[in-house]
Chains A and B, each alone.
Chain A
Amino acid sequence: MQSNSFMNADAVESLVDEMAGKLWSLMNERAIQAPLLVGIRTGGVWLAEMLHQELGLEEPLGTLDISFYRDDFTRIGMNPEVHPSDLPVPVDDRHVVLIDDVLHTGRTMRAALNEIFDYGRPASVILACLVERRGRELPIQPDVVALHKEMKPGEHITLTGPEPLGLVIGTDSNRESRNGESGAEA
């Protein structure tokens, strides 16, 4: 696999500021108070922590590991590095903000939505992501995006971190077999 740095920590942090601003406006527009921020492992959790701090939210933060909900378990087997999901407050009747680093095929988000609903029935779910690229395989669209990135087939973009954060672009001929979703990109 080859990968090149695309954005350094400062540039990523200003993207996160942009995400925070857009999310704040959307929450005001929809009159959402005390939302539950949920980061999707691994990159989404780093972003969720930053957004949580920037927005000064008091509700605790949730994390999701969607390994048990992946649609490619029947093809690639168990992810050897599963972490527990943790939603510290009940999701019933609560506004949930799902946060991920890269939105690509939409399959990770499908898995995340299914997992969220196994915890309860949220009032609404907002999808916020740092980078959006073309290639959706499911009817899933983001509500908040900091960067739309045009990419060539076979290229992928990944958030690295947590210290320092960075965005890298790489190519990997083997990624096709993992549905283009090896954790970081989806």
Chain B
Amino acid sequence: MSRGPSLQLDDVGRLRHFLTIDGLNRELLTEILDTAEGFAGVSERTVKKVPLCRGKIVANLFFENSTRTRTTFELAGKRLSADVLNLNITASSTSKGETLLDTLRNLEAMHVDMFVVRHAVSGAAHFIARHADPGVGVINAGDGRHAHPTQAMLDMFTIRRHKGEFTGLRVAIVGDILHSRVARSQILALNTLGASEVRVIAPRTLLPVEARSLGVHIYHDMDEGIRDVDVVIMLRLQKERMQGAMLPSEHEYYRLFGLTEARLAAADSEAIVMHPGPINRGVEMASEVADGSRSVILQQVSYGIAVRMAVMSIIIGTQNQQGQDNKG
């Protein structure tokens, strides 16, 4: 059985699952962005739906809480005309002792075509993809510290919409890199799409030891790291994932790494500010920046729907083609 990145592609390179950016080439990432561009206009029409996935069933399996990601996946599925089931697993079957595989088998018996999985354990979506029926697609909506590929792609979509091409761009990712599945996915996507320079700016305690091997420039000084960048991506301080004394205090963190208007002045004059949400105001960034003219944080949310529609429809398209291949 296939493992790792190849698990998400079929033998002719079509996307079967979307688990990680790792192993996907520039053409495929660009295809996702282009398809999302096609879906972006759907939100502005009288009927905010296309019939593409009519009759398909998408199950949102959220083992970990998330309002924004779950809601945008739900809307994405509904705008594709799929039927969407939202399962809050922590509150249902597992508490009665049913195993994960039993839950999967039951959903498959209901002819679910796609699982969207959010789990606190790294590798959970891969596990599900390996054990799911071959006709079922799996999208990773965030697994532990590992990956959050649709978030990374919606960030890429946001950057491309505001900045055009990736070549020549300098992007800084600031904050809690250690606990961030988003940062890992963003770095992979930016490097694959050809950004000129990816910087990470973080205190030593919030940087993973392997950070350097990801192909980034590391800064511990915010003012130095942010200089002349075109895009600033702020990360949320993941207090719930921290054990022990990684930070002196939130106040101290804000003083050293918080994004203020004064700090932002060192970036390129056209620089945009992004954040995957939810924002801790006054911890990662000042309210005046979050609500300011450079902030594209709310656009990120809107684009998230179009990008998730693109990933879902490409995977369901691959399933359709496979069904056809098997027939013929």
Instruction: Please list the residues of chain A having a beta carbon within 8 angstroms of any beta carbon in chain B.
Output: 65, 67-69, 73-78, 80-86, 92, 114, 117-120, 177
* Distance from B35 Cβ to chain A, minimum over Cβ atoms (Å): 5
Of all chain A residues, the one with the shortest Cβ separation from B55 is: A74
Contacts of B214 in A (CB 8 A): none
* Distance from B324 Cβ to chain A, minimum over Cβ atoms (Å): 5
Q: Judge if B244 is at the interface, Cβ distance under 8 Å.
A: no
Chain B contacts with A in 255-302, Cβ cutoff 8 A: none
* Distance from B13 Cβ to chain A, minimum over Cβ atoms (Å): 11
How far is A177 from B14 in the complex, measured between Cα atoms in Å? 18
Chain B contacts with A in 306-324, Cβ cutoff 8 A: 313-314, 317-318, 320-321, 323-324
A75 and B50 contact, CB distance less than 8 A: no
Contacts A/B (CB < 8 Å), 26 sampled: A68-B38, A68-B51, A68-B313, A69-B51, A69-B52, A73-B52, A73-B317, A75-B320, A75-B321, A76-B317, A76-B324, A77-B318, A77-B320, A78-B35, A80-B31, A81-B34, A82-B35, A82-B38, A83-B34, A84-B40, A84-B41, A92-B46, A114-B51, A118-B45, A118-B47, A120-B46
Of all chain B residues, the one with the shortest Cβ separation from A87 is: B45
Contacts of A86 in B (CB 8 A): 41
B46 and A118 contact, CB distance less than 8 A: yes
How far is A65 from B314 in the complex, measured between Cα atoms in Å? 16
B49 and A118 contact, CB distance less than 8 A: yes
Categorize the interface residue count of chain B.
20 to 34
A75 and B313 contact, CB distance less than 8 A: no
**Contact residues of A: prevailing secondary structure:** loop
How far is A82 from B38 in the complex, measured between Cα atoms in Å? 6
Of all chain B residues, the one with the shortest Cβ separation from A121 is: B46
Contacts of B321 in A (CB 8 A): 75-77
Most buried by B among A68, A81, A84: A68
Contacts of B31 in A (CB 8 A): 80
B41 and A85 contact, CB distance less than 8 A: yes
A83 and B318 contact, CB distance less than 8 A: no
Contacts of B83 in A (CB 8 A): none
Contacts of B45 in A (CB 8 A): 118-119
Of all chain A residues, the one with the shortest Cβ separation from B48 is: A118
* Distance from A137 Cβ to chain B, minimum over Cβ atoms (Å): 18
Q: Judge if B197 is at the interface, Cβ distance under 8 Å.
A: no
Not counting A68-B42, A77-B320, A114-B51, a sample of 14 additional A-B residue pairs whose C-beta atoms are within 8 angstroms of each other reads: A68-B52, A73-B52, A73-B317, A75-B324, A76-B324, A78-B314, A80-B31, A80-B35, A84-B37, A86-B41, A117-B47, A118-B46, A119-B47, A120-B46
How far is A73 from B323 in the complex, measured between Cα atoms in Å? 12
* Distance from A37 Cβ to chain B, minimum over Cβ atoms (Å): 18
Query: What 4 A-B pairs are tightest by C-beta distance, nearest first?
Result: A77-B317, A78-B317, A82-B38, A118-B47
How far is A65 from B42 in the complex, measured between Cα atoms in Å? 12
* Distance from B288 Cβ to chain A, minimum over Cβ atoms (Å): 34
How far is A134 from B172 in the complex, measured between Cα atoms in Å? 59
A77/B14 contact (C-beta < 8 A), A68-B38, A84-B38, A84-B41 known: yes
Chain B contacts with A in 23-47, Cβ cutoff 8 A: 31, 34-35, 37-42, 45-47
Contacts of B318 in A (CB 8 A): 77
Of all chain A residues, the one with the shortest Cβ separation from B80 is: A68
Of all chain B residues, the one with the shortest Cβ separation from A119 is: B45
Contacts of B324 in A (CB 8 A): 75-76
A68/B46 contact (C-beta < 8 A), A77-B318, A78-B313, A84-B41 known: no
Contacts of A119 in B (CB 8 A): 45-47
Of all chain A residues, the one with the shortest Cβ separation from B31 is: A80
How far is A84 from B42 in the complex, measured between Cα atoms in Å? 9
How far is A66 from B260 in the complex, measured between Cα atoms in Å? 45
A76/B46 contact (C-beta < 8 A), A84-B38, A86-B41 known: no
How far is A75 from B327 in the complex, measured between Cα atoms in Å? 10
